[in-house]
């Protein structure tokens, strides 16, 4: 074995482009640029403030599990329905086979589908809770997501506790066709049964909440909250403009617009969401 001093030293490239690429690869994932104000932020510091830009208060995407960890009492969350996985009932294929798309997304994200759910405690109060994982195929709702949402309300019924849902979805999953659309009625029926226990369903709309999710259970909450500047609606503004051939009002379908028109109850900053939900549960449950 040659002595340590006989090994060739690493030669640093004199090409500025290669040096920049090497630097970028080292820094990848450490820094985040705010989409609103352009501020460059250190990721670790940003995560401490729940991915809200300290310079302009822009609410960036927050992973579902990080949201639940920040919201619920430490160590209280018990994830359920982990064995449910999407199937390919139609043998759907577009640019890629649906089963292959599911497989690669599961591998990349480490998630079985676009929804995580279970039970936990919020300020000491048991809640049945679920959150969409938007990174999984745009948070689209297939039959498994619909089943998980339904079980959130069934558990809330059995436990006689409040139900909380965080929505971030592009709508029904086209790869499952009518099986996906059926979830709109299925989840709405579960909410109707849940009403019998007279506990609140708190619906929190995130960016974006659209399509079949917005057209069903997302709008059926006893109290409907939203984060700032969240896009909320059935069809997107561009589709609506092309259909009606008219220019839409400024800020159309954003949470501020909906609040002004009485469609939601409140806009809540992310840092205040836990205390607001706890307050509502204390008043209504």
Q: What is the Cα–Cα distance from 160 to 156, expressed in whole angstroms?
A: 5
- pLDDT tens for each residue of 198-215: 999 999 999 999 999 999
The residue segments making up the domain with residue 184 are 62-284
Question: For residues 101 and 137, is the Cβ–Cβ distance under 8 A?
Answer: yes
Least confident of 26-30, 150-154, 189-193, 209-213: 26-30
Whole-number pLDDT of residue 285:
80
Place of tokens 């990080």: 66
Q: Based on the domain organization, do 56 and 106 belong to the same domain?
A: no
Residue 4 CB neighbour total at 10 angstroms: 6
Q: Based on the domain organization, do 155 and 194 belong to the same domain?
A: yes
Whole-number pLDDT of residue 25:
42
Q: Based on the domain organization, do 73 and 55 belong to the same domain?
A: no
pLDDT over threshold 80, residue 28: no
Q: What is the Cα–Cα distance from 153 to 163, expressed in whole angstroms?
A: 6
Band of the pLDDT at 2, cuts 50, 70, 90? Answer: very low
pLDDT over threshold 70, residue 6: no
Q: What is the Cα–Cα distance from 234 to 214, expressed in whole angstroms?
A: 6
Average of per-residue pLDDT across 47-67: 95
Q: Based on the domain organization, do 44 and 156 belong to the same domain?
A: no
> Sign of the C-alpha dihedral, residues 124, 130, 132, 136?
positive
Peptide bond into 51 cis (omega under 30): no
Q: What is the Cα–Cα distance from 85 to 283, expressed in whole angstroms?
A: 37
pLDDT over threshold 80, residue 226: yes
Q: How many domains does the chain have?
A: 2
- pLDDT tens for each residue of 117-158: 999 999 999 999 999 999 999 999 999 999 999 999 999 999
Q: Based on the domain organization, do 107 and 179 belong to the same domain?
A: yes
Q: Which two tokens stand for residue 235?
A: 């069809």
Q: Based on the domain organization, do 88 and 110 belong to the same domain?
A: yes
Q: Based on the domain organization, do 10 and 107 belong to the same domain?
A: no
> Sign of the C-alpha dihedral, residues 169, 170, 174, 175?
negative
Q: What is the Cα–Cα distance from 14 to 20, expressed in whole angstroms?
A: 11
Q: Based on the domain organization, do 121 and 256 belong to the same domain?
A: yes
Q: Based on the domain organization, do 36 and 48 belong to the same domain?
A: yes
Q: Based on the domain organization, do 203 and 126 belong to the same domain?
A: yes
Q: Based on the domain organization, do 116 and 92 belong to the same domain?
A: yes
């Amino acid at each position: 074995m040659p002595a340590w001093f006989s090994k060739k030293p690493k030669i640093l490239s004199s090409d500025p482009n290669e040096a920049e690429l090497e630097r970028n690869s080292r820094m990848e994932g450490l820094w985040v640029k705010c989409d609103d104000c352009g501020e460059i932020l250190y990721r670790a510091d940003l995560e401490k403030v729940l991915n809200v830009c300290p310079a302009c208060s822009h609410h960036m995407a927050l992973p579902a599990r990080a949201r639940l960890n920040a919201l619920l009492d430490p160590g209280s969350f018990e994830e359920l329905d982990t064995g449910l996985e999407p199937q390919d009932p139609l043998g759907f294929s577009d640019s890629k086979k649906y089963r292959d798309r599911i497989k690669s997304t599961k591998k990349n994200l480490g998630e079985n589908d676009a929804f995580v759910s279970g039970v936990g405690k919020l300020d000491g109060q048991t809640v049945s809770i679920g959150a969409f994982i938007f990174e999984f195929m745009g948070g689209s709702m297939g039959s498994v997501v619909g089943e998980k949402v339904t079980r959130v309300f069934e558990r809330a019924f059995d436990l006689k506790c409040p139900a909380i849902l965080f929505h971030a979805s592009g709508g029904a999953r086209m790869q499952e066709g009518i099986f996906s659309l059926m979830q709109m009625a299925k989840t709405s029926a579960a909410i109707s049964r849940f009403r019998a226990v007279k506990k609140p369903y708190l619906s929190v709309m995130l960016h974006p909440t659209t399509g079949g999710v917005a057209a069903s259970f997302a709008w059926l909450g006893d109290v409907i909250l939203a984060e700032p500047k969240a896009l909320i609606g059935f069809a997107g503004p561009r589709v609506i403009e092309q259909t009606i051939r008219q220019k839409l009002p400024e800020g159309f379908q954003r949470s501020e617009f909906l609040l002004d028109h009485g469609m939601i109850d409140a806009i809540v900053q992310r840092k205040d969401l836990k205390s607001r939900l706890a307050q509502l549960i204390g008043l209504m449950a």
